[in-house]
Structure formats: structure tokens, C-alpha cells
Structure 1
């Protein structure tokens, strides 16, 4: 009996093994949790036919084929953020930097007054305004100065537009000051001051003595003063960085010519030194002198001797490097007196004698005109003398 049962068990094991070998291979799956196997029941009798025998056979679980698991999708890794700038106080900031830009220019223009009006309109077109402007005259030449503020984003455009207004740009400079770190430090300081102010207000509420209240009040006033100063500085930096400052000096390009001499009354044969006075235009200059007696010169400061007496008209014509011209003429500017000679001395004596005779003649004429007055005065004086003598 025992041999029969052992043979049956071996046969079932062989059949199960053959079935597992014949099954198709699949992707590995996690093994399911083993289910509890009931314990074998004890046999009711030991005989095969004489009694009821119960045999428990363990059959291996069927193999189930599952579809292949999908491959995992890679998760995108976020790009690293740009580093955040940090000020010396440890306060981070982001965004554009705070730059204060300024410009300084010197322009030669045709008309100073018209140029100031054009610059005023230019500032308004760039959302700006005129800070100050003034004009003055220097040696018959107009000069000017104007300061403007324009939107910081239009600073370069404004500089280019100002260049186009001038006949010549004599000087130009621009500069920029980075105040970002200072502004961030001021922001941190303002937060600390405001926190200190809040703490002082709490201390004032808790103070019970008058001396404590006064001490806290003094500190509170000092702290509030520092807060206002910090806010004012921050506001100045904000306005200065948002509105750029440009200063423009203007010089009129119109050529103006004058001249002078070391002496206007000279004797015949004496030399006269002439000096030009030029404003405006573009150097170098060329000179054309006319002395009024037929002689000319192209020197800058000529010296001329007149060979005859009389009065002479002098003129000067100046041409600058760009062809601009101006002429100055002074009528009867030089008077030349005759030199020494016997004829001149005799003529002078005769002229003196004639002059003396004219004076005597003038006196006689005046006496003749007033003769009726003299006669009346003489009659009155005679009548008064006669009456006094008769009384005596």
C-alpha cells in the first residue's frame, strides 16, 4: 500500500514538471505572496479497502503570463537658477543695476538763442525738462549755458541729437556711477531703523517713569531723523538714476571783427600800431588792412607811417578757416598833424595874429552893440554927480 501511494505522488510530480517546462517564457513578475496551505488530515484507517483513507496532494499553482511592464519615463531636471547678487550687507537684489549717467558738452552754434529753444524742445521730447539756462554777451559775441534732464533710457539718443545741433563739437564727455550697492545698503538700513523705531514705541508704552519716557523719546527722535535722511538719500538716487543730467555750453559761431590803434593823433611820419579784436569764427584767420592813404597790409598787427597830414579812414577785413567774413570800418579814425618847417612856423604865427585881430574886432563889435546901454548908464551917473555938486 505504501509503495502504491509513493508511486502516485512521483507520477504527479513528473507531470507538473513537464507542464512547467512546456509553458511560454514571460517577463519576470514579482512572486505572489504564498497562500496558506492546510495541514494534512490524519488518515481515518490504515487499510486501503477496509477503511476510508484520505490523501492530500499539493499541486503547484498555475503560471500566469503578464504583458511586459512599460519602461519608466525620465523626469526632466529643472535648470539651475542664475546666482543672485548680494551686497556687502548680505541683502540680495535682482533686476537692472542703478546707474547715474551724466553728460557735459561744449557746442559752437550759429545762434545761441535759437539753440536754447531747440534744446528745450529736445528735453521735452525725451520726457525731460530744463534745469537752468542763461545767456550773456562776451566781446560782441553771444554765449549760453543750459542744463537739462532726460529719461535715462534716452540718454544716448539725446547726446546724438545735441551733436546735430552744433556747427562744431568742441568738447564732449559722459560718465556713469553705479549706486546699486549703496541703494541696497540704504534699504537694509531703513528696515533696521524702522524696526528700532517700533521697539522704541513699545518701550515708551511700557515705561513708567518720566525719566525713562524722556530717554526713549530722545532715542525715538534721533531714529526718526535717521529714517528721514535715509529715505531722502534713496529718493535722490532713484530720481538721479531715472533722469540723466546733461549740461551744454553754447558759443556763437558768428564772426565779429573790431580793431584799435595805439594812437589816433600822430605827426606826419610817425608810426601807428594797429591791433585786431576777433571773436567767433574758426581759426586760423586771414587779415586785410586798408589804412586810408592807399597802403594795405596782410599782417595780423601791422605798423604803418603816414607820409602826409590829414584824417584817414581805416578798415579791416577778416576771413576765418571756413570762409566766414566780417569787415570793420572806422571813418576819420587817424588824424595826422604836419611836421616842423619854417613855412609852418610862419603860417602858425600869421594864424595867431589873425586870431588876435579877430578877438579885438569881436570886443569892439560887442561894445558897439551895447552902446545905448553905456550912454544911459553914463547919463545917470552924470546927473547924480551934478545934483550932489549943486547941493554943496
Structure 2
């Protein structure tokens, strides 16, 4: 405001008719003050623009902050992969559905153990399962079988029904389901963290300059890689076991009665066996007689000495009593 007052006084001074002031001097004054006025106005405009630019830089809502200095999150920048939750082979989401491991045991009695085992193996194959192991022991009439089956969990009930239909009687049946959802989700979270850690180590490895730094970072990255493989292996095992139920079947014959006449018996064979026994007895007696005769020089003198000693002792006792 003071500047404008000075200009106003200057204009009044110029308009005053004064003969003592020369015209050239007035013209110079007008020129100088006009130039000062122009510079003043220009400086005021530049200051305003400078203030506006400063305000724009300091304004959080300005494009400078929104575009040039925008901070990006690790996920947006691609530093951390935003991976989805893994799903099992059976198509079960580990966040929404439960992941269970189903085991079942069946003890059955069947007319023929070997035939029942063959039929169970066929049913297992038809359901898309496998026979993990099987054992068959004993004679034909007293056979005992044992089978371990892996069957897709969606067919486990149908498979157990088929096994029951083969049995004369089911002596024992039990099922056990283990919930492994929490363990699987923990492994999934741990796996994602380990993968992020591995990625960071690999980036550090690219920036390492000395051999010592490279060896340290590589050793740490190797440890993380081993943990990643262990977590993946455990997750694959849980996915496989939850997708396929384990059924163990113990198979025994329904009856265990022996025939009244054992197979292979015949009277002629029994007679020949008795004759062979009598012959062995005669051979043993003859062998004993031969041994007695051969060892007679040893036992005959001893026997005579004992006989005389006993007789002398009896004779002496008889004389004493008289």
C-alpha cells in the first residue's frame, strides 16, 4: 500500500505546474518512477507465482504427492507375490472346507478267503483305488488274509459296502477321521513366507560383492530352500492322504472244521507203517545184544567182583549172628 501512495504523490507532483522545475528533469523523474513501478509489479507477480508453486509442493492433495512421490506397497510393486491359497488335488479349498484323513478297519468272515481277496482287489480297482499290500497264509481250509487298500474318499462308503456284502459276518468295524486343515493352512502360510524370504535372499545375492557375502547369502538361501521343499512335501502328503482313504481288511474263514477222515489216510499205509515200526524195534534189540557182547570184557569182571563182595558180606553177617 505504501508503494501506491508514493506513486500517487509522484503523479500529483508531476501535474503541478512549477516553472522552477525544468521539463527534462520532470521527464527523467517520470521515466525512473515508471520503471520502478513496472519492476515492483513484476516482482509481486513472481512472488505470487512462487508462493503458489510452494503451496502446490507442500499440498498433500497435489499431483506431486499423488503421482511423483506415491509410495507403492510391496504387493503392488511386485516385491511380494500375492499368491492365492493352494487347493488340494481333490478340489477342496483349505480356507472354506475341512481337510480330513479317513482310516477304516474291517474284520470279516468269508466262505473262501482267497476268493474274497480276489473280489476285493477287483472292486478296489473299479473304484479307482489300489491295493497297497496283501498277505495270505495258512492251508486251504484254514487260510487267513490281510489287505491294505487306498480308495478315493468319495468312494470309501461304497467300497466298504461291497466288502460287507462279501462277508458272512462282520466281526469288527471301525472308522477314524483326522482333521488336518489347521496343519495344512499353517504349512501354506509358512510356505509363502519362506518363498518371500528366498526371493529376498536371491536379490541380496545379486547385490553381494565379496566372496564372503556371497557364501553367507547362498548358505542362508539354501537353508530356506530346504525348508520350502519340506513344507511342499508335507502338503502334498496331506493332500494325497486326504483325497484317498485307507481301508484295512482282515479276512478269516467262516468255518474251521477239519474233516473226519484226514486227506491221504489209507489202511495199507497204516499197516506198512506198523511193520516198519516192528522192524525198527528188532533192529534196536539186535544192536543192543551186539553192544553187550562186545563190551563183556568190561562189565563181566565188574559183575563177578560185585557178586563175590555181596556174598562174602552176607556170609560174615550170618557167622556173627551165631
Scaled by the length of structure 2, the TM-score of the pair is: 0.51
Helix, strand or coil at the partner of 2:96:
coil
Q: 2: distance between equivalents of 1:199 and 1:255?
A: 69
Change (3 A) 1:102 1:198: same
Q: What's the counterpart of residue 98 of structure 1?
A: 99
Partner of 1:134: 135
Distance 1:135 1:93 in 2: 40
Assess if the C-alpha contact under 8 Å between 2:198 and 2:221 holds in 1. yes
In the TM superposition, what is the alpha-carbon distance from 1:140 to its structure 2 partner?
Answer: 5.3
Query: SS of 2:250's equivalent?
Result: strand
Q: 1:74-113 residue pairs with structure 2 within 5 A?
A: 94-113=95-114
Match in the other structure for 1:116: 117
Instruction: Output aligned runs, 1:1-392, within 5 Å.
Output: 94-137=95-138, 141-257=142-258, 326-328=259-261
Please give the alpha-carbon distance, in whole angstroms, between the structure 2 residues aligned to 1:328 and 1:93.
64
1:93/1:234 CA distance change after superposition, 3 Å: closer
1:211 Cα offset (Å): 0.9
Unaligned runs of 5+ in 1: 1-91, 258-325, 338-392
CA contact (8 A) 2:95 2:185 kept: no
Query: How many Å separate the matches in 2 of 1:220 and 1:177?
Result: 34
TM-superposed CA distance for 1:251, in Å, is 1.0
**1:133 and 1:157, CA in 2 relative to 1: closer, same or farther beyond 3 A?**
same
Give distance in 2, aligned partners of 1:331 and 1:256. 21
**Higher-helix-fraction structure:** 2
In 2, Cα distance between the equivalents of 1:138 and 1:331? 21
Partners of 1:145 and 1:183 lie apart in 2 by: 32
The Cα RMSD (Å) is 2.4
Per chain length, whose mean CA-contact separation is higher, i.e. which structure has more relative contact order (CA < 8 Å, sep 6+)?
2
- Deviation track 1:39-69 (CA, whole Å, cap 9, x = no partner) reads xxxxxxxxxxxxxxxxxxxxxxxxxxxxxxx
| Cα shift readout 1:337-358 (whole Å, capped 9, x = no counterpart) | 9xxxxxxxxxxxxxxxxxxxxx
Q: Is this contact kept in 1: 2:141–2:256, CA < 8 A?
A: no
* SS of residue in 2 equivalent to 1:328: coil
Q: Shift in Å at residue 125 of structure 1?
A: 2.3
Give, in whole Å, the separation in 2 of the partners of 1:189 and 1:146.
37
Instruction: Give, in whole Å, the separation in 2 of the partners of 1:199 and 1:251.
Output: 60
Normalising by structure 1, report the TM-score: 0.42
Q: Aligned equivalents of 1:206 and 1:94: distance in 2? A: 38
SS in 2 for 1:192: helix
Q: 1:161-204: per-residue Cα shift (whole Å, max 9, x none)?
A: 21111111121111000001110110000000000000000111
Distance 1:113 1:139 in 2: 9
| Separation in structure 1 between the aligned mates of residue 118 and residue 141 of structure 2, nearest angstrom | 21
Tell me by how many angstroms 1:95 deviates: 2.7
**Structure 2 runs not aligned, ≥5 long:** 1-92, 275-322
SS at match of 1:115: helix
Structure 1's 139 and 239: CA in aligned 2 closer, same or farther, altered over 3 A?
same
For the residues of structure 1 that align with 2:95 and 2:187, how far apart are their CA atoms? 16
